[in-house]
Amino acid sequence: MNDAAEPLQNFAAFGKLYRAHFMGPNWRRCQGWEDCPWDGIGLFLWSYAFERQGRRPDFSPAALHVVRELKEEGFEIDQPKAASEAWCRFSKELGDQRLNPASSPMAPKGTRYLRRSTTLVTTQPSAIQVAGQLRQSIVTHVLDLLRTGETKSAHAMVASINGVGAKIASLFLRDVGSYYGLSAITDRYLLQPIDTWIRRAAQLCLNVSDQNSPEHVGRAIVEACQACGISPEEANEGMWYFGAIIAQSEYGLRQAIGDSGRFHTIAREYVSALRDVVAAYAVGGAGSSSAAP
């Protein structure tokens, strides 16, 4: 077993916490994601499309609200006016403030906007337009492509959405692959979103540096995990969760990776704290007047 095996196994274990803490609750908000195109794109907009620095926290709930509203009103997602109607309602929900069509997954291709007194237009399709072209749930479409070895096509399709790009596409593909337990995946590095925390963890575990491209780091994680019989997607999930949610500093991450005993101590303390929170809520009495809202 190589030197990276133990920390990678530890991170993979924390992939379970990521799925329980974030992925599970988020996916349950749109339970028809497999069969309904509106629910599939709603899941994407709620959990993935706006996951970048500087985005407003109300973008995701506003987008999901619009999708649900259009679905309830009987709009077909492949109707020519569905995307423009979604953008109009999204803009209205947010008061037309700081929407930045150039990077909004809700802005249809051809949307006009001003930048330094110059009129520009968006050149990429919105999430609704892409979903309308698929005529099936984007989750199911990506799943089918992953299962048939067309990972590059799946990644390119998601990354083509206005304001999305490669990292978010990899994040979405990773979670689809992880949720369905896929293991025989071609071009698996494309299921490795590389953010600050994952890069830091990879630098401490593997032979990568700040100068290495996201593709290089993704390939390094996949190769190291496969050599140890570990799911690369679970390890990636755990790298982010442990760094961003538990360690919350490069110093804490370095300590945990350098000392397995310290890693498990931090893990036990975190899980114990979660249990205390649940116990405190239970004592209050869920649904009682004394319970938290």
Express each pLDDT in 83-138 by its tens digit.
999 999 999 999 877 788 999 999 999 999 988 889 999 999 999 999 999 979 99
Q: Which residues pair with 118 in a beta bridge?
A: 115
To the nearest 10°, report the CA torsion of 34, 37, 43, 49.
Answer: 130
CB 204 within 8 A of CB 253: yes
Residue 287, pLDDT score: 56
Q: What are the Cα distances from residue 41, in Å, to 172, 181, 197, 231?
A: 11, 21, 27, 26
- Would residue 2 be called left, alpha or beta, if left means φ above 0 and alpha means ψ between -120 and 50 degrees? beta
**Which residues of the chain fall short of a pLDDT of 70?**
1-2, 53-54, 284-293
CB 14 within 8 A of CB 267: yes
CB 87 within 8 A of CB 108: yes
Looking up tokens 């370095």 gives 254
Residue 291, pLDDT score: 46
Q: How far is residue 13's CA from residue 230's CA, in Å, rounded to a whole number? A: 10
Q: How far is residue 78's CA from residue 255's CA, in Å, rounded to a whole number? A: 51
Query: In this structure, how many other beta carbons lie within 10 angstroms of the beta carbon of residue 218?
Result: 26
Q: How far is residue 275's CA from residue 281's CA, in Å, rounded to a whole number? A: 10
Report phi then psi at 115, rounded to 5.
-140, 115
Residue 31, pLDDT score: 87
Q: Which residues pair with 121 in a beta bridge?
A: 112
Q: How far is residue 140's CA from residue 145's CA, in Å, rounded to a whole number? A: 9
Model's pTM, two decimal places? Answer: 0.92
Residue 115, pLDDT score: 84
